[in-house]
Amino acid sequence: MDNCLLFDNDGTLVDSEYLCNIGLVLMFRRYGIVLDADELVIRFRGWKLSSLLSILEKENGLDLPGDFVQEYRTIVSGLFNKELRPVEGVIEALEALDAPKAVVSSGPIEKIKHTLGLCGLSKYFGDNLYSSYEVGIWKPDPGIYLHAAKGMGYSVENCIVIDDGPVGVKAGTEAGMTTFFFNRFEEQCNIEGVVSFTTMDELPGLVKNTRDLQHQQS
């Protein structure tokens, strides 16, 4: 049986994480708080939005209004429309990978569809889109990847996770899946068995090697 490829979205398929955090910088500026977008990317990528906002509230002594998230998402959507691009090399990698593919994201389903559409990636995934908001499970909980595997009709042994965030990598490994860490910032990863790579042109070869190894062991 072929492998099923489960891709994170933000930072793995679409180069959205910096833009998302620019949105936070702009929103918090209203309260006289100066945040650094690059620092936020490193610190919070892959996190549940409400969790990171709770931390930023406490650190800055704020009580954010109820319409904060809606306004934030409106700002980010506008930034996406103007500036969002696919991650470098990801289209070529997707073209080279003939296995079934799905997107497994901590973002809302509307955001997933919007970003994939803007970047010309929708055709690679069709309706195979899995959002944490639909099941109430966020990375690093492995349940979101287990949910996606079940939806795709694959056992965990035949799933490969591709994720750029430490929380996503942890979720993939705890789900019992082969996990590739798209290590864009060349960070240390101490999770046993995780394969790190830094450019998308490496991915097809990694998938092939995994498939060959599994065939030898079967």
Q: What is the pLDDT of residues 67-116, one digit of tens each?
A: 999 999 999 999 999 999 999 999 999 999 999 999 999 999 999 999 99
Q: Which two tokens stand for residue 102?
A: 């799905």
Residue 8 annotated as catalytic: yes
* Predicted pLDDT at 212: 87
Q: Which of 2, 8, 10, 127 does the annotation list as catalytic?
A: 8
Q: Reply yes or no on whether the pLDDT at 218 is more than 80.
A: no
Do you find a cis peptide bond into 140, omega within 30 degrees of 0? yes
Confidence check: pLDDT of 196 > 70: yes
What's residue 84's pLDDT? 98
User: Is residue 216 predicted with pLDDT exceeding 90?
Assistant: no
pLDDT given for residue 217 in this prediction: 80
What's the whole-number mean pLDDT along residues 157-164?
97
Scanning the structure block, which residue is given the tokens 């490193």? 42
95, exposed or middle or buried, with CB in 10 Å at 0-12, 13-18, 19+? exposed
What's the pLDDT at 1? 57
Indicate the SS3 state at residue 179. Answer: strand
Q: Which has the higher per-residue pLDDT, 192 or 96?
A: 96
Strands (E), the chain: 4-7, 101-105, 129-131, 159-163, 178-182, 195-197
